[in-house]
Structure 1
Amino acid sequence: MGGEWGDDDENARARRANLEAVPAAATGGGRYVEERPDEPWWLDADEMTMTIVLGADVDEVAGVLGLDHAAMAPMLLPEAPWQDDASPLALLEVPGAVAVAEPNGWTTVQPDTVTALSRLGLTVALYWNVNLVARFVVADGGQIVRDFDPVVDAGEGTGTPLPQEDGVVWGLDAIDEAAALQARVTGVHLTRGQVFGTPHPTASVPWPR
């Protein structure tokens, strides 16, 4: 995301060889095997954006992102290639929604992008990096209705707190709490097996400037 939210390019490149967002357990043939497929997707994720768009289809979401869904190659996120100044972006089709997974990326939490996606349906985006810079954004109908940093704002931020925030303790596990909140708001409960252990249409997307 650059500036306030993103990382400088040198630090982001340096972490690529050691991204916990895509921990690998390879077989003898070198294929990634997700060893904890039933665990929540955010377990041990080190730097990530996960955005969920309700009521949308994958072609619509790809179009908003400037991608051609038909041209995106199905692959496992841990095996997706990296390029300079870019990171993988995968589209996950789930019942009633599309999830966008970005290890080390932050395209879909950008205000212009998240509001554009929200014209397709309620959109909830969660981003964090290794420095625990984080952002939780809810947008609907082209407007951001909730925007806060789970680590710093502790439930404050912009917009009226969501009913699903009742009882949340924003402490040391703020990222876990935010990911669980995203699941409660959207009704989409993703696992590591779904996100990292299943092939999805994937593209390399340049980092926002």
Structure 2
Amino acid sequence: MRDLIEKYAWADEDDDLVLTLGVFPRGSIARATRIYGADDGEVDIMTHYDAWVPQEDFGSYFRVQIAEALNAAYGAVVAIEPNGWTGAVPEIARRASEGGRFFSVNWSMSGTRRIVEAVSGKVTAFFNPFLIGEPGGMGDVVPDWVEDVVFDIDQPNASSFAAVELRTGVQVEQAWFTEPLPTYRIPDPDVLLAGVEGARVP
């Protein structure tokens, strides 16, 4: 784990790197856009930071960048939300994992963090890796595999990306945050999931 954390040290060098990264192992772009509520007929090509929603529009819509992770052994799709959190919502994880698996990491401008994993429609992990066993972690779903993973509070972003690679086999590429990617407009997840009981409950 320590070697993986050092591999992703670049992720903690940029204070503006705020996101949710979701991984669909053996996934498809069409399925990912549908689950995130994107209109796959309307796509822009934007860099990660250009895809941030303007402050005056924040909350009225969000954006997700969806691309194939070509470094994965069996193919995978990644969904990257600049300053968004749809992929960290339990109901999204449940839907994304139907017939397979889904894994996401999230951290916000306010410093909150979340790791979510789901298998075959059931959330199997939902926790802040730095609040395990603390009062702030009450109600979390903490998986057994956490015992074998070290999260470094001094390299929190790198630790999250290391967990992505450990759990999915997908290597997070720095180029995803510097080069233009297909970018879709998506609704606020609370709008997307309106009327779904327990959408935020793991």
Alignment TM-score, normalising by the size of structure 2: 0.73
| The one of 91, 103, 110 aligned to 1:131 | 110
2:39 touches 2:184 (CA, 8 Å); kept in 1?
no
Tell me what 1:182 maps to: 164
Give 1:169 deviation, angstroms.
4.3
Q: Give the Cα separation in 1 of the matches to 2:169 and 2:50.
A: 28
Residue correspondence of structure 1 range 109-128 to structure 2 within 5 A: 109-119=88-98, 121-128=100-107
Give 1:166 deviation, angstroms.
1.1
Q: Give the Cα separation in 2 of the matches to 1:124 and 1:40.
A: 21
Residue correspondence of structure 1 range 9-88 to structure 2 within 5 A: 42-43=11-12, 44=14, 45-80=16-51, 82-83=53-54, 84=57, 85=59, 86-88=61-63
Q: Give the Cα separation in 2 of the matches to 1:91 and 1:184.
A: 21
Give 1:171 deviation, angstroms.
3.1
Q: Give the Cα separation in 2 of the matches to 1:41 and 1:107.
A: 24
1:141-164 alpha-carbon deviations (Å, 9 max, x no partner) = 00001111012127984143227x
1:60-84 alpha-carbon deviations (Å, 9 max, x no partner) = 1111222232421222222236251
2:24 touches 2:76 (CA, 8 Å); kept in 1?
yes
5+ residue gaps, structure 1, are 1-37
Secondary structure of the corresponding residue to residue 49 of structure 2: helix
- Aligned amino acid, residue 42 of structure 1: A
| The one of 124, 143, 167 aligned to 1:160 | 143
Alignment TM-score, normalising by the size of structure 1: 0.71
Q: Give the Cα separation in 1 of the matches to 2:155 and 2:11.
A: 12
1:77-130 alpha-carbon deviations (Å, 9 max, x no partner) = 222362512332100211311111011100111111111011153111111113
Give 1:46 deviation, angstroms.
3.6
- Percent identity over the alignment is 24
Aligned-CA RMSD value:
2.6
Secondary structure of the corresponding residue to residue 69 of structure 1: coil
Q: Give the Cα separation in 1 of the matches to 2:10 and 2:23.
A: 13
5+ residue gaps, structure 2, are 1-6, 191-202
Tell me what 1:201 maps to: 182
